[in-house]
Structure 1
């Protein structure tokens, strides 16, 4: 390729509508190869460099880092993969900004005497927030030797999905929830409840049944039906009975009602979770409360 068919760095910059400094920057980083050098050692570029420079500028307009642009040009990465990665990063930044906006609004709107505590709660949570501490809490709280599939199922039901655009109230609820699971809380994070503990029979059988019972109860909550007898309650009681090798009898139900009423359950956890969750997604705690109320209603009659 002769000098007459190549462009100087200034000519390429003029054709592309950019500065010489821009062309030199991309050339120095290997994104814009030279076609040749002049007799005086000056860079010369072929016409194909113009298309490549336009592509580089387009990719940079999307805020893709220079190394990512280089991998696309060298076909080490596909444009689709790089764009997907960039979208994930932007999503994370947007989530952080939404969280920060709601947290700032929370601080702005609260009474002066509340500000120090709220600032402490907010400062203890990563940005964007993570539910990892909640998942660890449940893995510690669940009975030992519970099958991994059941641990995963319980954690999936118990750990809420964080809202994409949280309100100040939801920021406050999550920071309080994070503080609850991160600090020693008597009656919530230490020791198994009596109904689920070592004397509770086969925990795998129990939790298998509880996951099913909560799923059956959820439509009842969505329909705002009062606690009542039915398939969900039968499944709930059967889970406890089968885990202990016992039969579902009126006497067993009365004993179970007393046992569950005495359990130091994590009511505060579920209260805060409900503030984070959509009304169309009943929490496992809400389902448990509904089933316990149904059980209490069923066993309220006179003893046998």
Structure 2
């Protein structure tokens, strides 16, 4: 220690249990202020630098980037900036773990399949990022929905139809998602799949009313679908029919309306493959909107008791 109470860079490094190179790096990054320079131009530090250096090293041990460390140190109180930095780092680590879990499941999928399947599965899985994005699937639905749907209504449909990525996927879920990604990407890149009759309705059709009503009907039907009950009448079917009646201009739910609605819905283009894959991704016990819709359409054909 010099007469003025300062330490050399070597003394500070020795007391901190680190190297001169490390102390110099943090000084050059502006994280560790110098007290002064010696006549020979060497860095000198106040003893308080030891505590600051310990804080810097602790933050770096958490893998916080230098820029994050600087933001934390620029404030006199650590709690707020440190909490923000830790939250951001947690988010990044979570993304990295999700990517690793996805890659592990994808590798297991390729490792455990036979040679005849490996090339196709490699092509499917290789087209999906890790962790995967659902953007392609969302574009598929935006393209498929009626034009000029209100933003809130579109958001509701996307929330219900775009599958959540499993936090810890199985190889089978990875394969199902890869197939779903390939299917929806093909539709977005020029597929010409027909639209349901409701989407082709003329003036006065209110798609937001339809999809809000369908969402409620699917929720009501889900317990029956999950329990394996046969399609039939009840609140779910009443809500389902009411959604189509209200969306089409306020028609009344009559026996004649139901007789006409059934064949129209039965003739609609089906995307059963989509919902089968979504069910595989979601796992056992989940009832997809597609499964609920099919149950309700079948219920329309059941004669009134």
TM-score normalised to structure 1 length = 0.91
Corresponding residue for residue 295 of structure 1 = 300
Partner of residue 215 from structure 1, selected from 206, 209, 219: 219
1:162-201 matches, within 5 Å, as: 162-184=165-187, 190-199=193-202, 201=205
- Taking the aligned partners of 1:189 and 1:274, their CA distance within structure 2 comes to 24
Mapping of residues 29-48 of structure 1, within 5 Å = 29-48=29-48
Give the structure 2 partner of residue 240 of structure 1: 244
Deviations along 1:154-196, whole A, 9 cap, x unmatched?
Answer: 11100111101110000000000001110039xx863311243
CA contact (8 A) 1:68 1:82 kept: yes
1:224-235 → structure 2 map (5 Å cutoff): 224-235=228-239
How far is 1:243 from its partner?
2.3
Tell me how far 1:259 sits from its aligned partner: 1.4
Number of equivalenced pairs = 299
CA distance in 2, matches of 1:249, 1:152: 31
Distance across 2 between alignment mates of 1:151 and 1:62: 41
- Assess if the C-alpha contact under 8 Å between 2:140 and 2:187 holds in 1: no
Q: Which residues of structure 2 form unaligned runs of 5+?
A: none
User: Aligned pair 1:206/2:207, yes or no?
Assistant: no
Question: Which segment is superposed worse, 255-264 or 268-277?
Answer: 255-264
| SS at structure 2 position matched to 1:44 | strand
CA contact (8 A) 1:134 1:159 kept: yes
TM normalised by structure 2 equals 0.91
- CA–CA separation in structure 1 for the residues paired with 2:166 and 2:192: 25
CA contact (8 A) 1:37 1:44 kept: yes
Q: CA RMSD in A?
A: 2.2
Moved more, 134-143 or 219-228: 219-228
Counterpart of 1:3 in structure 2 is: 3
Report how far residue 297 of structure 1 moved: 2.1
Q: Secondary structure at the match of 1:297?
A: coil
2:259 aligned with 1:257: no
Tell me how far 1:280 sits from its aligned partner.
4.1
